[in-house]
Chain A
Amino acid sequence: METREMTCINCPLGCLLTVTKDNGKVTVTGNTCPRGEDYGIKEMTDPRRTVTSTVRVKNGSAVKVPVKTKTDIPKDKIFEVMDVIRKAEVKPPVHIGDIIVDDIAGTGVPLVATKDVE
């Protein structure tokens, strides 16, 4: 049996969760909403994060365009994702939601723009 205390990162309440894993079954206490339970289970079994950063723009109205992984990616892939982001470059125009890199660092998740750059 494994028990861990963690802060839920879903909303500003920041509930202190107690997550217990026993024979593959994960139980969560301390959450005030269902999202807290989902987070606790995921954090214990498959921790994931959304990565946000910026990508260089070639000859645009801005030098950088902000980006995010479209959904969360495995936590242990964060720095591999960043390595790809650092090397990436886009040509304007770029619009919110445009895919900058598909399947970033083998996560199966696309990297998308979060701002328009002309």
Chain B
Amino acid sequence: MYCRETDVVIIGGGPAGLAAALAVKAAGVESVLILERDTQLGGILNQCIHNGFGLHTFKEELTGPEYAARFIKRVLDEKIEYMLETMVVDLKSDRTVVAMNRKEGLFSIKAGAVVLAMGCRERPRGALGIPGFRPAGIFTAGTAQRFVNVEGIMPGSEVVILGSGDIGLIMARRMTLEGAHVKLVAELMPYSGGLKRNIAQCLNDYNIPLKLSHTVVDIKGKERVEGVTIAEVDERLKPIPGTEEFYPCDTLLLSCGLIPENELSGSAGVALSPVTGGAVVDNTLETSIPGVFACGNVLHVHDLVDYVSEEAENAGRGAAEYVKGQKAGIVPEDDTVMEMKAGKGVRYTVPAKIRPATVKKDVLVRFRVDNNYKDVSIGVFYDGRLERSVKKRTVAPGEMEELRIRKEELDKYPEVKEITIGFVE
């Protein structure tokens, strides 16, 4: 088996992988390789033809392919090595990456550091427990997006969408523009999982109804979907008898959540968070395995690609510093670790650990709340003692929040074991 050595191997050539690779190179590490399983770089952005990308990164509104093209151009300009149609099949805890493609066959790479940038998957029908046969016409929203935007094929003409995640909302508009009739978006939860602006510009603009606290309880049709039965659910999310309504349709799209794609991380033994489905990382985005870093949707699902790029740069810098440190034989003197905890109203934080010795200015912490709230005060607690708080007019589970842990605070409380982010009572 062909074997090679590379300082930093990046698994995935989507927005996270591209930004991470550029950051590795910018930090002075020359030997970096991107492994991508598709026929082109850019990842999911290639099928996200709608606009709204890049407002933070480029201060202008770009489509997905345009956003990807800017990063791809920089990767090409920097002469960063990449392999397409290359599938990573195994990652070992000693950072050996086993991959295959048509040219090399099966090969392995001994990596100084690895950046996990594999993105996420959609929750499929099988994970939703909807009764009924398995007729044609049931697609995840992202599959339908690929059919319409890349393959140029319309999956159907009379459409019901289950789940109000952003891809579902975007596809409601896209299918409508292509001449389909989108009858309804049903959402199990009492709130939408998508961005407010997508409800405005994808549903309201086209008079597509959004029914909150509703779900699909039956799918009719044996060869092809003939219709779905929608019912209202109670506060325990159980369908309420007597509220069933039948919607004739030939297509059901599912936009019911995204799951970080961590099969490789799992096989390497990377510790995963049960809440995010992604790796447990510290502030340099290093996982539980030294020299293995994670960023983008494989770490936790983001709302905005701009935040993915920013996070991936951090992971790339971390990987570069790790490689440089190993080569110079530097052993960190101070290995204090503070745990980050999700307090009241907060589901999770990324990072989940802070190593104060590695903090230069401050630590950007991203988190999600567990419900819709109005007029809340979100606090930073050091070992349970409130340090400071910020007021928020509205917070929602579908919209990621952020705040910064300041270096001065870490210096002020060197003995602290736990930093909690949560609502102030």
14 CB contacts below 8 A, A to B, read: A7-B197, A7-B204, A9-B200, A9-B201, A12-B195, A14-B200, A49-B205, A52-B50, A54-B49, A66-B64, A66-B65, A68-B49, A115-B66, A116-B69
- Chain A window 93-118, contacts with chain B (Cβ cutoff 8 Å), 1 for yes, 0 for no: 00010000000000000000011100
Identify whether the interface residues of B are mostly helix, strand, loop, or mixed: helix
Asked if B273 CB lies within 8 Å of chain A CBs, one says: no
Partner of A63, one of B152, B196, B200: B152
Is A41 an interface residue when CB atoms closer than 8 A count as contact? no
Contact B201 A54 (CB under 8 A): no
Q: Which 9 A-B pairs have the closest CB atoms?
A: A14-B196, A115-B65, A66-B49, A7-B200, A9-B197, A114-B63, A64-B152, A14-B197, A63-B152
B38 proximal to A (CB < 8 A): no
Judge whether A7 and B149 touch: CB under 8 Å: no
- Whole-angstrom CA separation of A16 from B394 in the bound complex: 11
* Chain A 1-33: CB-based contact to B (< 8 A → 1; otherwise 0): 000001111111010100000000000000000
Instruction: Say whether A52 contacts B399, CB under 8 Å.
Output: no
Determine if B304 and A12 form an interchain contact, defined as CB atoms under 8 angstroms apart: yes
A118 to B69, CA, bound (A): 14
B 205-236 to A, binary, CB cutoff 8 A, 1 in contact else 0: 10000000000000000000000000000000
Complex CA gap A75/B173 in Å reads 13
The answer on a CB contact under 8 Å between B149 and A66 is yes
Q: Which residue of B lies closest to A116 (CB)?
A: B69
B67: nearest residue on chain A (CB-CB)? A114
- Nearest residue, chain B, Cβ from A43: B200
Q: Which residue of B lies closest to A62 (CB)?
A: B150
Partner of A10, one of B69, B148, B177, B197: B197
Of A11, A14, A50, A51, the most chain B CB neighbours within 10 A belong to: A14
Contact: B200 with A114, CB < 8 Å?
Answer: no
Chain A residues in 8 Å Cβ range of B51: 50, 52, 68
Q: Is A78 an interface residue (CB 8 A)?
A: yes
Nearest-neighbour CB distance to chain A for B121, whole angstroms, equals 23
We find that the number of chain A residues with CB closer than 8 angstroms to chain B is 30
**Would you give the 0/1 interface string for B42-78, flagging 1 where the beta carbon is closer than 8 Å to chain A?**
0000100111000100000111111001000000000
Q: 18 additional contacts, CB 8 Å, given A14-B197, A53-B177? A: A7-B196, A7-B197, A7-B199, A9-B200, A12-B303, A12-B304, A16-B196, A52-B49, A53-B49, A64-B150, A64-B151, A66-B63, A66-B149, A68-B49, A79-B177, A82-B177, A96-B66, A116-B69
From A8, A14, A68, A75, contact of B63 by CB (8 A): A68
Are A54 and B197 in contact, with the CB atoms below 8 A?
no
Given the known A-B contacts A12-B197, A14-B200, A49-B205, are A114 and B150 also in contact in the complex, defined by CB atoms under 8 Å? no
CA distance A62 to B195 in the complex (A): 31
- Report the separation of the CA atoms of residues A62 and B146 in the bound assembly, to the nearest whole angstrom: 13
A54's contact among B55, B69, B152, B195, by CB below 8 Å, is which? B152
Q: Is the CB of A14 within 8 A of B49?
A: no
Residues of chain A with a CB closer than 8 A to B303's CB: 12
* Bound: A7/B195 CA distance, A: 11
* A89, B351: Cα distance in complex, Å: 48
Q: Which A-chain residue is minimally distant from B42 (CB atoms)?
A: A115
Q: Residue of B at shortest CB range from A51?
A: B177
Structural contact, B201 and A63, CB atoms closer than 8 A: no
